[in-house]
Amino acid sequence: MSADTTDDRALLERWQAGDREAGNAFVERHFASVFSFVRRRVAEPATAKDIAQQTFLACLEPSARINPQRTMRVYLLGIARHMVLRHFRDATPDAGKAPAMASVPTPSVALVEARERALLQRCLQALPELLRSPLELYYWDELSVAEIAALLDAPLGTIKWRLHRGRAVLREQIEAAEVTPQLRATTLRTLQAREVGDDFELAAVDDATDGDDTG
């Protein structure tokens, strides 16, 4: 466990014990990361800020427990993701299930051109949630495969399969999109550039494997 992680846990424990100064330091250290994560999924800045604040307040709940195998970042983003999903469920109580989270056109390392972002967002929304979430976490939030597996509470092999399959379907969506050949080509190059130096290798996996893991 790194010194930063230990310090984070110490700050959080002090905050949970009533130390407001420690709480302020903890929130100041992590608020920007949590807010950016929420803002990419919630269109209204004020709502995104409120959800980010709720994420930190959830850390004070008696039931709040940190898996020692998870980093503080993954722990907080896991809470934030739950809060975002609950926000959409509450906004559409008759829908029966949470709608797709919004993809706000926020610049990132992987997606730097507005037209490419718009095309990627549109194509991502056509993917099922099972494939879309890992791709968003990988491309937009720049989480590692191990961090995505921890956040989604899924086996590493399952996440690798979802990323592998999701990329293939996303490319199909981009290639079929009614856009200029130049935009299609630059968007595909953007995806490929993000994949250079990947921290994982994807082997061929039967579709049934992921079905077994996810029920």
- Torsion angle in degrees (nearest 10) through CA of 114, 120, 125, 129: -120
Count of Cβ atoms closer than 10 Å to residue 59 Cβ: 19
Domain that holds residue 76: 3-91
Higher pLDDT, 145 or 107: 145
Answer for the pair 73, 81: CB distance below 8 angstroms, yes or no: no
* Number of domains, the chain: 2
85 and 142 in a single domain? The answer is no
pLDDT at 72 over 60: yes
| pTM assigned to the model | 0.64
119 and 73 in a single domain? The answer is no
124 and 203 in a single domain? The answer is yes
174 and 205 in a single domain? The answer is yes
145 and 209 in a single domain? The answer is yes
> What is the distance, to the nearest Å, from the Cα of residue 101 to the centroid of all Cα atoms in its chain?
10
133 and 171 in a single domain? The answer is yes
Q: Residue 205: what pLDDT?
A: 44
Q: Residue 111: what pLDDT?
A: 43
Q: Among 9-23, 62-76, 159-173, whose mean pLDDT is lowest?
A: 62-76
- Of 76, 91, 106, which residue is a domain's last? 91
- Of 50, 76, 91, which residue is a domain's last? 91
Distance CA 155, CA 60 (A): 28
Q: Among 80-84, 149-153, 174-178, 206-210, whose mean pLDDT is lowest?
A: 206-210
Residue 157 buriedness (CB in 10 A; 0-12 / 13-18 / 19+): middle
11 and 71 in a single domain? The answer is yes
